[in-house]
Structure formats: structure tokens, C-alpha cells
Amino acid sequence: MKIVYTIIHSNQIMTSEEFVRLITAEFLEEISQADREKLDSLLSQDPQLLQEYHSIRSYLLSAQIEEQENIALYRKIQSKIATIEQGYQMEKKRKFNWLLRIAALILITLGTSYFLWNEYRPVVASNPLVYSTAKGIKKSLLLSDGTRVILNVDSKIKLANTFGPNHREIYLSGEGYFNVHHDSAHPFLIHTDKADIKVLGTVFNLKAYPRDKVSETTLITGKVQVTLPDRPNDVITLNPSEKLIVRYQDQVSGKVQKSYSSLPELTYLNKEDTAVVEALWRYHTIVFRGKTFGDLSKEMERVYDVSFEFRSAKARDASFSGTFDQKEIRDVLDALALIEPFSYSMDNKKITIY
């Protein structure tokens, strides 16, 4: 027997299956803009439903469970649902906790693979904390407010001392892929040395390595607001598929000149490309478009934990565009040398380009 519950809140009617579908899509980062707006609208108009939504997410994010425990939990939930449905047949008017039902349905919809949502073992964050990754290492985090973060190599986030559901503020150095838990009443703030980001609930990629002359904010779903330290009164709002590039020029007369541009003719990506390109680094794939070898080498240093020395200005300034999986670094260098000829030598972790 298949039971479909109806959730009635704020004069809106939604079946439990529809609610499960929306939350599942959100957790899998596959929620459409229309569904995101639908879920946001429901949650913003009904405090009770928002509380129940938080309860479901907390239930799913509450613990790290090993694979064998996942299987045991999966079977336990199946048994629990069977008991609930049997009780429903015996006493149709009986009231039961639909919240448990929805949480169970979400777990079954996602399967035990949910707890392995990424190959990086999730770390449940507590406060106050600093999380960092070394060169060549990535890390996945579940923050206490439900926000999911994947830190790229050689990156660091610091949580504010008062970080929590009512004060969501962090500091980023490096690159992170964020799936910010929705809470319109408490914006999520990210500070970098290049820009400040304000979000309510969205998926985006933020790249701000201290040594780089460029920082990039790419919005995949939702909406974010960006402000620059030297232009606090200018708020730049990004919509889905928009990318903001902040370029830092070399020092002139002891001062750093800064400029920003969305450059739509150069950096605009459609929805499919944005989601794919900005997520590829999570799957050990490097994408570069019109990058000089000198700039590309900085990214390779972080990924492969090596250092580069250029003895050829021509090779350093050569421009490359392409995509490659994170293979052995010799394979990558050999492939690049086929495009723009150069030679190289390797001494332990030092690579010299001639």
C-alpha cells in the first residue's frame, strides 16, 4: 500500500512526495530554478514548515555514518516504514509523525550513497574552527547550519567565533564550492582579501587565492551580492550563470590598483556550462581558458604540490586553453609541450621550464 501524505501550510497544499522531491533535488544539487523558487516561497511563508525543513536537514546531517552502518540504517528505516504503514491499515485515522516518514523517504530516495555524497569524507564542523587543505588535497565539510562546502587544494576557511544558525559568517582563503543552506532571515557572509560575498541560499563557486591577481565568483543557482573592500557602497548582484572577475593590477607607486568587470562577452556561461565547468575541479579535472603558462603553473603547483621555475619568457607567456584530468604531471607537461614547444626538467618537486 502506498501512502501519500498532504502537507497543508499557509493555504498551500503539497504532497509529502513533492516535498521529498524538492529537498532531494536540493541535496543532490540538481534543483531547478523554478523548484528553488517554489521551495523558497513555501519556507519563507510558513515558519512551521521552515522549522520542519530544518529538522529534516539536521536529521540527515547529524552524523557521519560508515557504509555498514548506512546499510543497517537503511534496513531499519524500511522496517519502520512497514510498521507505520501496517498501523495505518489497522487504524486509518491514527495520527503519526509525518516528519519521520519524509526523512525516511529522503534517505531511501538518496540511498545509502547519500552519506558518500562525495568521495571526500564529510567533516561535521563545530565552532570555532579553522579548516585547511594542503597542496594536492581537497576536503568536504558540513557546517553546523547545514551549509555544504568543498575546499579545493591549498585553501582555508575560518568560522567566526559566534558562527551558528543565527550568525553565519566565515573567512575564505583559496577556493571553495558552496551549497549554502537556505535561511532568508540570516544571510551567509563570506570574507576574502579581495571581496565580501552575501548569500541567502544558493550554490556558487568562489576562487580567491592570495597569490593570484584574479578572483572569481560564479553563481550557479540563487543570488549573491558582492562588495569590494575599496568600494563598499557598490553592491554587485549576480544572477544564475553570471560570473564576476576581479582583476588586481601590479603595484604602481606603492598602491594596488583594482578593477572589476563581469565581462559578459568573455566569461558568460549558460546554465549547463556554468554548472559543469565550475564543478569540474571537484572531480580532479582542470579547466583553463586562455591562461598563460605562468598563471597555469600556479594552479598546477597547488594541485600537484610542486614548484615551477621559468627560464624561458616565451614559454612562461605562452597561452593555453583546454581540459585535462588530474593525471601524472609529466603527462600534463608533455601534452602542453605538443601545443607550444618547450622543454623541462624535474628535480624532486621542482620543475624547471626552458
Q: Does 272 lie in the same domain as 127?
A: yes
Confidence of residue 6 (pLDDT cuts 50, 70, 90): very low
35, pLDDT greater than 70: yes
- In angstroms, the CA 322 to CA 36 distance is 33
Same domain, 132 and 272: yes
**More confident call, 96 vs 339:** 339
Let me know whether 50 and 165 are in one domain: no
Q: Where in the sequence is the domain holding 15, given as residue range(s)?
A: 6-116
d(CA 283, CA 170): 25
Segment 170-223, tens digit of pLDDT: 999 999 999 898 888 889 999 998 889 999 778 889 999 988 878 888 888 888
Q: pLDDT averaged over the chain? A: 71
Whether residue 269 is found in the same domain as residue 149: yes
Most confident of 63-67, 149-153, 232-236, 270-274: 149-153
Asked if residue 271 has pLDDT above 80, the reply is no
Task: State residue 65's pLDDT score.
Answer: 40
Q: 250 and 184 in one domain?
A: yes
Mean of pLDDT values over 151-164:
89
- Tell whether 329 and 223 lie within a shared domain: no
% of the chain residues with pLDDT over 90: 17
Rounded to two decimals, what is the model's pTM?
A: 0.59
Last residue of a domain, one of 116, 143, 170: 116
pLDDT single digits (tens) 70-114: 445 445 545 554 554 455 444 444 434 455 555 555 554 454 344
The top-scoring range by mean pLDDT among 10-14, 22-26, 66-70, 212-216 is 212-216
| Same-domain check for residues 148 and 261 | yes
Count of domains in the chain?
Answer: 3
Give the domain-ending residue among 116, 141, 166.
Answer: 116
Assess whether 253 and 292 both reside in one domain. Answer: no
